[in-house]
Each structure stands twice: as structure tokens, then as C-alpha cells.
Structure 1
């Protein structure tokens, strides 16, 4: 690529967990393998699988019993967190040898901006070198998208898997992206795709030509943003610090009188949950951690927090968590003020389930969660999404942890 535009790479590791397992145990190479939770139980869920397993009908989120039925020779392994974190850290260390502008998105993917580096004059060759190094030094396959912005780079990396390198220029958007179903566009899930059919939008090209005001009425501020992306326009910069930002969305309310009435206090929480939910959705983010504030009639103020297994933005979910925290910590003294704050925000289109050994059974039983996983897979066009579930939350008075957050905190220290 040449010209004055930026040169952005999106590096997407192929079947990351399964690939890491094969790297640690070469005897697994070329065999159908799956990483799954609760591997000894028929209710376990497949987290990810090798391409050999996919060719035999094994899919991400599939129950282990069904995967074994489709592929009797399937080798099933339990997740190894430390192993994946270590391989991911080594992967990002290689990327940073080419530019300081590396933005991890998750444990197995990230963006690079090589515009102002000597590598900009040989972008494709550089991508090939990176891909070869990841394969040779870490024994891990990857796909790389090269484009003038992050959105197009993400779309490009999904086009050839495994071990693909795709260049996508803005002028090629009408020929390459516009004919695709709108549901294949990064950032458009099943629900959004269904919703915008009411506007006659079925392809990415339809979205690119859609009426902006109609999109805004239907989808809010996300409507015009999606239209811009469909036209190849995306101005977000590659920001190495983005993963370390811990923003918040919160609201509080002072009661007209000090109260110990449970129904009255829950009514305040319901209004706060609705307000926080609306703001999260307007900002297109989800909260991974929830705080409540209780201020008593004597002005004593306490805050309590809960790390969530899955990011949330719906008022009923926010209300449920806030109510649980409140009744656990309320002293039954008169309350003057209540507050709810969502923190550790993640962009909605980047939100995904955290991998947890004890959550797969609940996922299998919970149809709404299954639908969410399908939605996320549609958004990312990938089988690499980590699964989680509604399980008992761990309460915390300090910064909470999760698999990916632990990894990112380690990244920050290094």
C-alpha cells in the first residue's frame, strides 16, 4: 500500500487456544481437537476447536456430547489459562518490535499502526514477516488484514483464514464489501441486522446508501457510525492505552426524605438502573464492574462493588446486581442517597464472554446466553469468542480480575 493514508494491521490469531495446545504438544498437530469446559461432563461446551475439528462438524458453543457425536475421534482438552496468557504475551512482544502503536483488543487479536515506520514502504512484506515469525517462533498461525483504518483492517483479516493476508483499500469497498450480507459486517449483530431490514437494508451496500436520519431514528448514534463504516470511513486511532482506560457511567439520587422503606428504595434503584442503562447504550459500551453507593441520614457513605462475569448494559441486569449488593450491605439505617455506577467499560462491539471453567454448564442451559454467543460470533465472523455465563459473582472492594483483564494488567506492567 502507498499514499498518504494510514497503514493499519489487524492481527487475528487462528483458533488461538487450540493452536497453543498444538504448539505445546506437537503430537496434536493435524488432529481434530477442541478446548472445552467441564470436559468430563456431557454438559461441557466447546470453547474453540482446530480447523480439522471444524471440518468434521465441530463448532464453538457446541455441547461436548454433540461434538463427540459429530467427530468420535475428537480430542478434548481443558482450558489452560497460564499457557494462553504466556503465548499471547509473546505474540504482542513480537508485534511491538515493529511499532509502539500496538493496541491489544483481546487475548488473541490486536491492531498495529506502521504508518510512520520504515515498514510502511513494504507493508505486505512486513505482514508476511510477522505472520512467518508467529508461525516459526511461537508455532501459532494468524491472519492479517491491511487497510487504511481499523474497521477495514478487521474486515480484511476475516477474509482469509487460516494463514491469510488481505489488503483492503478504501476504493475497493464497493466491489468487495458492499455485496456482502449486512450481518457479516463487523459491528452488526443478528438483532441489528434484523432491525435494519425494516429500512430495506440487506447488504453492506444497502447500509452505505441508507438514509442517515432514518438510521439514527432506528439505532441512535450508532446508525450514522455504521453507515460511515459501510462506506469505509472510520477515524478511530490505534491507541496502546485504550485497554487500560477504566471509564465509568453512573448516576445517583438524593431522596426527598430519609427512608428505610424497601419498596421506596428499590424504586429509586430501578430509576437509577434505567438511567445508567440508557447512558451505557448511548455510549455503545457495557460495564464489566458495578458499584453502588449508600449514604445514610448521618452522611456516612459506603460504596460496594461487584466484578461481573459478563459485561452488561440492560436495566434489569443492572437492577438485579445493584439490588443484591444493596441488601447484602444495607445496615437497615435510614438512607439519604443511593447511586449506581458501571465501570471497566468495554465497547459493545468488542464485548465477549470471558472464558471460565465453571460457566459452560450454565451457558448450555441458558438459551438467552446462547443467543448472545451467536450474536457475538456473527459480529466477529469468528469462532474465537470466549464463553462465559451467569454464575455466582465474586464481590470485590478493590479492582476485580478476569482472564483477559489479568492479561492486560500484566501487559501494562511489562
Structure 2
């Protein structure tokens, strides 16, 4: 019988798990072909191309120096015996679906945050010690699916996420608030969940090198530097996080956009494209300010008779630059504009991903195309040399429910500028 934590835990707070699958794509391949177990395995965007990029790899490959986003030729040089397979996203999605089915057998309060990770709130569903429940989850995923995972146990989402990263593969880590100063504060601020490369750079300019520095930082200085996010990050660094585990959050529709009502109805294609370029510039600036990329571009056209048309395009890879946004918007506009006078134009970037996590999305779209771009490989290599190996990590994938238009960037959603 499931007993309520209100009887057992009193005012001690919530019990949150963060379940993070280990080397998920490679692990799924091994579960499908057990002969791969214990061997150096990599999933690459296009194994046939010399310039293919490593999407993920097994821990055996990692021990030999193979890393995510590494060029395939470089990985093969480090590990000639490397087994390389092309991504099989249908199988990965099936495994993900089954994984979350198992998690929901322990609690209905499950929040997926990507294909291979999610939060659980087990506070009201505890029948045993949380550590035993975590071990049960880990064992079931391993025995029933042959998939390893690491689990963080904590009183809130931030600490649970930090805990799950502390021991991989097959780790279970408990992180209490009283452990924050001893365990988290000595860590580099760049290793803190929620701190991207640009944010870490800004924090370094005011002498904040560790999580402890951030935790003890001046609030006014942080707010001036990072806005409200500065205060939020200081709270996180002190182990404070009031966010609830929200099963519906996977449907959040995150958007940043800009629209403008034209001073007069315009039918000149060149003039309309000029307006689009200006909108792309604004959207790009807002994306950079929020430190996010967009993976979906939408264009809104309102005609003289106030008929409004919105068309969107899912992108092969995340974009943020003005010219990239403009080219995508221009293509959508020219394909859908009927040639009559336009009253309003808008560009919106949907399905946002953190700058820090943008490269994760490459494996979800057209990783192979980017594998052909040597400049991308050089850029990734440059970032790693300049900011460290962890500059490009796995991250979140946002999803949305059709028709759902709430946004966590409300002030930026299709804002209209008066001209």
C-alpha cells in the first residue's frame, strides 16, 4: 500500500529523482545487439563519410579518448577498432517511450526533459527508502531493457540534476541541502547546471570562478550583470529551487519573435524583404540575449483585409544568426505570399534550445549534413580548446503540443514594434 510522505517526512520537503540514461543511443544499440557489449562503439551522423561526427559513444570508446562531436576520422585515429553505427532514431524513441512507462509505474509525477532524461517526484508515493526505490528503477531499466542509468536524489530539481551527473555510469547519488557548501561550492561555476559558456564568462569578469563564489555573490551586482537570471542562479548555487516536477511541461511552447505593423500596406517584394531582414535582426538579438537557438522558424503575414497567415518550418539544425534566420524566413515568405498588399509581418523562432545544449539537437535532425562542414568541426574544436572539453554537452529538447501557445518568454512572443 502506498503511504503518504506527509506522514513520514513531515516538513522535510520533497523527494525528487533525476533519471539520466547513460550513453543512451549507444546503450540502445547494445541492447539490440548484445555482441557489442564491452566494445568501443560510436554512433555517427554518417559512418560512410570521412567527416562524419560522433553523436555519442560507449564508455569503452570514451576511455580511449573518443568524445561526442568529435570528427569520425579523428575518433578512428584514436581508436582504430572503433565500431561505428548510423543513428536509428525509431529504436531510440521506442526505448525512450518504454523507459518513461517504467518510471510512471513508480509515480504519476514524471517530467520528461529530453529523450533520455526526466524528473520524478516520489514524495507522495514512497513505500520504501528513496535509495531502495532508485535502485529498483535502475535495476529494472538494466534487467528489462539492458539500459544503464544514473539517478540523482535530492529535495529539488536543481540538486537532483547536479547529483545525477556526479557518478556515471550506473551511479546513484544523494545530494542534500546541507551538502551544498561542501560538495557544490568548490566546483567551477561553468559546471553548474543552468550556467552556459557566455554566462560563465560574464561571471568570471566579476571574479566568480566557483559555484561558491556565485552563492555568496552580491545580488545587485548579479542582477545588473545577468538580470533576474542572476538572482535565480544565486538561489540555485545555494541549493534553492522551488520549481515543481511538472508532467505537462513537455508541452511548453517556447518562442521568441518580433512583428511589425507596416506604416502603409505594402505590395513591393523588395520592401517586404527589407522588413523581414530587420525583423530577423531583432529576433537574432533576442535569441542571443536569452542565450538560446531556434529549431523552428515561423512567418506571419497579415494582408490588407486583415486575413492572417502563419507558416512555419522545422529546421535541420539550431540557428541564431541574423542571416540564417532571414534566409529561412525569406524562403517561407516567398512560398506563401499571395502577392497582395501586406499590413503586418512577423518572424518567430519556436522550439528553443539553450546555447549550451544546441549541439545536442544536431543528432535529432540532419547531423550528417553538418558532418560535411569542416568549419563546424573546427569551431567545435576551437570552443573546446578555449573553454574546456565540457563546452558542448548533452542537453534538453523542448517539445510542444499543437495549438498550445504559452511561453516562458512571454515578453518576447511575437512582440509588435510600432514604427
Q: Same fold (TM over 0.5)?
A: yes
Aligned pairs for 1:3-402 (under 5 A) are 4-119=12-127, 121-262=128-269, 264-277=271-284, 286-312=293-319, 315-346=322-353, 352-355=360-363, 356-362=366-372, 364-366=374-376, 370=380, 378=390, 384=394
What is the TM-score of this pair, normalised by structure 1?
0.84
Deviation at 1:155, TM superposition (A): 0.4
Deviation at 1:270, TM superposition (A): 4.0
Deviation at 1:303, TM superposition (A): 2.2
Deviation per CA, 1:105-150: give whole Å up to 9, x if none: 111111100011124x510110011111111111111100000111
Distance 2:370 2:139 in 1: 34
The alpha-carbon distance between structure 1 residues 353 and 386, as it changes in their structure 2 partners (threshold 3 A), is farther
What is the TM-score of this pair, normalised by structure 2?
0.83
Deviation at 1:237, TM superposition (A): 0.9
The alpha-carbon distance between structure 1 residues 244 and 222, as it changes in their structure 2 partners (threshold 3 A), is same
Q: Is the 8 A contact 2:113 2:396 kept in 1?
A: no
The 3-state SS of whatever aligns with 1:307 is: strand
Q: How many residues align?
A: 386
The alpha-carbon distance between structure 1 residues 316 and 232, as it changes in their structure 2 partners (threshold 3 A), is farther
Deviation at 1:152, TM superposition (A): 0.6
Distance 1:321 1:27 in 2: 44
Q: Is the 8 A contact 1:289 1:308 kept in 2?
A: yes
Deviation per CA, 1:284-310: give whole Å up to 9, x if none: 765432221222334443322111233
Q: Is the 8 A contact 1:221 1:282 kept in 2?
A: no
Q: Which moved more, 1:255-264 or 1:136-145?
A: 255-264
Distance 2:40 2:254 in 1: 42
Deviation per CA, 1:139-175: give whole Å up to 9, x if none: 1111000001111100000000111100000111000
The 3-state SS of whatever aligns with 2:262 is: strand
Distance 1:22 1:100 in 2: 29
Deviation at 1:38, TM superposition (A): 1.1
Q: Gapped runs of 5+ residues in structure 2? A: 1-7, 404-419
Deviation per CA, 1:186-222: give whole Å up to 9, x if none: 1112222122111001000011111122222222222
The 3-state SS of whatever aligns with 1:358 is: helix
Deviation at 1:360, TM superposition (A): 3.8
Distance 1:307 1:325 in 2: 11
The alpha-carbon distance between structure 1 residues 45 and 278, as it changes in their structure 2 partners (threshold 3 A), is closer
Distance 1:9 1:52 in 2: 27
The 3-state SS of whatever aligns with 1:353 is: helix
Give the aligned partner of residue 413 of structure 2: none
Give the aligned partner of residue 415 of structure 2: none
The 3-state SS of whatever aligns with 2:123 is: coil
The 3-state SS of whatever aligns with 2:186 is: coil
The alpha-carbon distance between structure 1 residues 285 and 166, as it changes in their structure 2 partners (threshold 3 A), is same
Distance 1:333 1:371 in 2: 48
For the aligned residue pairs, the C-alpha RMSD in angstroms reads 2.9
Deviation at 1:317, TM superposition (A): 3.9
The alpha-carbon distance between structure 1 residues 62 and 286, as it changes in their structure 2 partners (threshold 3 A), is closer
The 3-state SS of whatever aligns with 1:207 is: helix
